[in-house]
């Protein structure tokens, strides 16, 4: 299957991956959350080839993750900003940051700090069950396909979340 047909799969991860699962895309979005808005600023911070950057920004705009907002005329210039849909990717970037902090940061600690404005602490957000408010991870969530959803059926052996 070609990559650009992945979004037709009946799976939310597949459809999301067709937007996010590309070289550079997650890094571009990370910079968006850090306030970067202009083409050259993305390019300099990421050292991404300009052609690649242009095509990624265009793709993210087409998928309504970013939008172009004019910030001057003559010559017309645009900056890239997160849409609501884009801002809803915050949990994705935040959990990726958590994982990177855990496995790839040096003794001095993580390079980016996140302060929870409400309580003032530097935090690493965690996943929580919205019903019972306990913290959740792979071991206490059981995934299954909804019948008639058109998704691939469950693997016969079943999920492996509860392995030691």
If contact means CB under 5 to 8 A according to the sort of partner, which of a copy of itself, DNA, none does residue 83 touch? none
112 binds a copy of itself (CB under 8 A): yes
User: What is the x/- site pattern for DNA, positions 34-53, by CB under 7 A?
Assistant: ----xxxx-----xxxxxx-
Contact 101, 110 (CB under 8 A): yes
Pair of tokens at residue 13: 């991860």
3 binds DNA (CB under 7 A): yes
The Cα–Cα gap between 151 and 162 comes to 23
71 binds a copy of itself (CB under 8 A): no
Q: Which of 125, 51, 59 is nearest to 90 (CA)?
A: 125
Least distance to DNA from the beta carbon of 61, Å?
Answer: 9
Distances (CA, A) of 132 to 103, 125, 143: 29, 17, 18
Chain residues binding DNA by CB under 7 A are 1-4, 22-24, 38-41, 47-52, 54-55, 57, 68, 74-75, 77-79
């Amino acid at each position: 299957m070609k990559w650009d047909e992945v979004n037709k799969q009946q799976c939310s991860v597949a459809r999301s991956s067709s937007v996010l699962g590309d070289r550079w895309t997650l890094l571009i979005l990370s910079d968006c959350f850090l306030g970067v808005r202009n083409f050259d600023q993305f390019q300099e911070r990421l050292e991404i080839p300009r052609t690649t950057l242009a095509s990624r920004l265009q793709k993210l705009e087409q998928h309504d993750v970013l939008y172009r907002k004019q910030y001057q005329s003559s010559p017309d210039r645009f900056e890239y900003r997160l849409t609501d849909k884009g801002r809803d990717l915050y949990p994705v970037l935040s959990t990726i940051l958590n994982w990177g902090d855990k496995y790839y940061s040096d003794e001095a600690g993580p390079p980016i700090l996140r302060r929870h404005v409400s309580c003032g602490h530097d935090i690493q957000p965690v996943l929580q069950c919205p019903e019972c408010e306990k913290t959740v991870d792979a071991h206490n969530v059981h995934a299954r396909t909804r019948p008639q959803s058109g998704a691939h059926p469950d693997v016969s052996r079943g999920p492996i979340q509860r392995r030691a």
